[in-house]
Amino acid sequence: MTAKYETVIGLEVHLQLETETKAFCGCSTEFGKPPNSHTCPVCLGFPGSLPVLNEKAFLYSIKVALALNCKIQDTIKFDRKNYYYPDLPKNFQISQFDMPLSYDGFVDPFSGSLDAKRVHIKRVHLEEDAGKLIHPAKESYSLVDFNRAGMPLLEIVTEPDINSPQEAYDYLTALKSILQYLRVSDCDMEKGSLRCDANISIRKAGEKELGVKVEVKNMNSFRWVREALSFEAKRQIALAEAGERIIQETRLWDAQKLVTLPMRSKEEAHDYRYFPEPDLVPFIVDKKIIDRIEKELPELPRERAGRFTRDYGLSEYDARVLTGQVDLADYFEKCANIYANRKTLTTWINGDIAAQMNARKVNIVGLGIEPKDLVELLKMIDGQSISGKMAKDVLLGMIDTKKSAGEIVSSKGLSQVSDKDKIEEAVKDVLAKNEKSVNDYKGGKKTAITFLIGQIMKQTKGKANPAVVNDVLKKHLGE
């Protein structure tokens, strides 16, 4: 079925820029404050108030645009997008219409260790966010919180050159990674600082013309974007197969039912009546500023992954996983500077550490383990003072108690016994108590050794170094 059809997807990402103040006034952008506490006549759209562009929001926008390989518009102007909604204080949004501040860029995502297809960026423009409506349960009124109104919002729009839900997922992952490297936003979808809408259509394979597009909204994780697009592609193909018409509409992803549903409210064809915002004067961007921002761009994930494979001898896959999150990559490098065994380091960070981050839904900073503390733990394994298995428990202890590896090992008496004399003692004891197994072994039943090792480990409370146990035991068994 899918071979017959091609899916065409374009994505629109809205990114809240992490400036201290709003896009056009001096109000704080702090999240989670009491409703309407971060407002002023400007962001409330009071009569007579006027917008003044936040320079930092503009510079952040340029930074993003350059990192996405976009061209920068010579003259920057803003437009008014007119529509009525109670969360929009002026009943128009200051946005950019025919001259977005940047255009024609691209992102090169990965898919695992493979390069995915390049996604072209159509435009990146700066606008203001709206407030938030609150609908108290069982009440006939709605409330509005304007704290979010006027927050700087960057809209990043791709060309319709994404051809599968997985490609969409890979693009979003790559985009988020870049944005986090730029440190312009926390990209937190749960807080709404990164939002994604998708346009999706299907067409018969080989056809040039685009099909009827459906806009899908309300997907608050990249996983849901992928799921929603899969569902929507299948739905559209099924309609086409059944000879039914696909209608142009906006559909909402229902994460409970795992389906897209038509938006209930009547979405009439809007005429936004865009026109140039007369309260903001168009201005020309100084090339020197753009050059400076370009020079100051940090090393981005793709370059960093390349460097990790070269400098640390990591596999491409490991390097990409590590560099996918800027904090994780920084963490790796801090550890790598004081610890030479990069293979072990990578295995631990991409393994147990990553598992704990996922389980606890925190990033590496939230996990609270200093690089030097992780390195201490890894060095204990290397020095055989604890086993790899013990180290896993110690790591949990470190996360839970914020104590160092050394402290946990000594407080729990965990340190591994590699002392041959002590092990010898245990081996003799176990062999004396288990004559039958010894005889079985000597009689040719080699698996009996497993039982004996188990007994020795039990006697040493698991602290014995397995390698030493093995050596000593075999010696005693006469091999």
Partner 1 sequence: MENLYSLTAHELKEKIDKFSLAPSSILDSLFERIASLDEKIKAFVSLNKRAASAIPENKAGKLYGIPILVKDNICVKGEATTCASRILEGFKPPYDATVIKKLKSEGAVLIGKANMDEFAFGSSCETSCYGPTRNPWDTDRIPGGSSGGSAAAVASDQTILALGSDTGGSIRQPASLCGVVGLKPTYGRVSRYGLIAFASSLDQIGPITKDVRDAALVMNVIAGYDEMDSTCVDMPVPDYTKSLVSDVKGLRVGVPKEYFIKGIDKEVEASVRAAIDILKDLGAEIVDITLPHTQYAVSTYYIVAPAEASSNLARFDGVQYGHRSRDSKDLIDMYIKTRSTGFGNEAKRRILLGTYCLSTGYYDAYYLKAQKVRTRIKEDFDSAFKLCDLIVTPTTPTPAFKIGEKTEDPLSMYLSDIFTISANLAGLPAISIPCGFSEESLPIGLHMLARPFGEETLFRAAYAFERRTDHHKRKPKL
Identified binder of partner 1 from the candidate list 22, 80, 148, 176, rule CB under 8 A: 80
Residue span 365-404 as binding mask against partner 1, x where in contact by CB under 8 A, dash where not: ----------------------------------------
Stretch of 49-57, 66-74, 194-202, 420-428 contacting partner 1, by CB under 8 A: 49-57
User: Under the criterion CB under 8 A, does residue 280 sit at the interface with partner 1?
Assistant: yes
Q: Shortest approach of partner 1 to residue 286 CB, angstroms?
A: 17
How many whole angstroms separate alpha carbon 136 and alpha carbon 51? 32
Identified binder of partner 1 from the candidate list 2, 4, 52, 411, rule CB under 8 A: 52
Identified binder of partner 1 from the candidate list 10, 45, 301, 371, rule CB under 8 A: 45
Task: Please identify, using beta-carbon distances, which residue of 80 and 302 lies nearer to partner 1.
Answer: 80
Stretch of 41-49, 112-120, 202-210, 402-410 contacting partner 1, by CB under 8 A: 41-49
Q: Shortest approach of partner 1 to residue 154 CB, angstroms?
A: 20
User: Under the criterion CB under 8 A, does residue 99 sit at the interface with partner 1?
Assistant: no
Q: Shortest approach of partner 1 to residue 264 CB, angstroms?
A: 14
Stretch of 11-19, 46-54, 212-220, 376-384 contacting partner 1, by CB under 8 A: 46-54
Identified binder of partner 1 from the candidate list 271, 286, 296, 435, rule CB under 8 A: 271
Residue whose tokens read 């809240």:
16
- Using alpha carbons, select from 168, 47, 43 the residue that is nearest to residue 111: 168
User: Under the criterion CB under 8 A, does residue 41 sit at the interface with partner 1?
Assistant: yes
Number of residues that bind partner 1 (CB under 8 A): 28
User: Under the criterion CB under 8 A, does residue 37 sit at the interface with partner 1?
Assistant: no
Q: Shortest approach of partner 1 to residue 215 CB, angstroms?
A: 19
What token pair was written down for 241? Answer: 């197969």
Q: Give the list of residues 6+ apart from residue 479 with CB closer than 8 angstroms, or none.
A: none
Residues between 122 and 161 that touch partner 1 (CB under 8 A): 144
Q: Shortest approach of partner 1 to residue 89 CB, angstroms?
A: 7
User: Under the criterion CB under 8 A, does residue 22 sit at the interface with partner 1?
Assistant: no
Stretch of 5-13, 81-89, 221-229, 371-379 contacting partner 1, by CB under 8 A: 81-89
Q: Are 127 and 277 in contact (CB under 8 A)?
A: no
Q: Are 200 and 232 in contact (CB under 8 A)?
A: yes
Task: Please identify, using beta-carbon distances, which residue of 53 and 453 lies nearer to partner 1.
Answer: 53
Identified binder of partner 1 from the candidate list 30, 86, 207, 351, rule CB under 8 A: 86
How many whole angstroms separate alpha carbon 32 and alpha carbon 132? 12
Task: Please identify, using beta-carbon distances, which residue of 78 and 231 lies nearer to partner 1.
Answer: 78
In angstroms, the first-to-last Cα distance of the chain is: 64
Identified binder of partner 1 from the candidate list 3, 32, 34, 47, rule CB under 8 A: 47
Stretch of 64-72, 271-279, 338-346, 385-393 contacting partner 1, by CB under 8 A: 271-279
How many whole angstroms separate alpha carbon 19 and alpha carbon 24? 11
User: Under the criterion CB under 8 A, does residue 23 sit at the interface with partner 1?
Assistant: no
How many whole angstroms separate alpha carbon 63 and alpha carbon 124? 11
Identified binder of partner 1 from the candidate list 2, 37, 75, 91, rule CB under 8 A: 91
Stretch of 39-47, 150-158, 251-259, 322-330 contacting partner 1, by CB under 8 A: 39-47
User: Under the criterion CB under 8 A, does residue 281 sit at the interface with partner 1?
Assistant: yes
Binding stretches for partner 1 (CB under 8 A) = 41, 44-53, 80, 82, 84, 86, 89-92, 144, 271, 273-275, 278-281
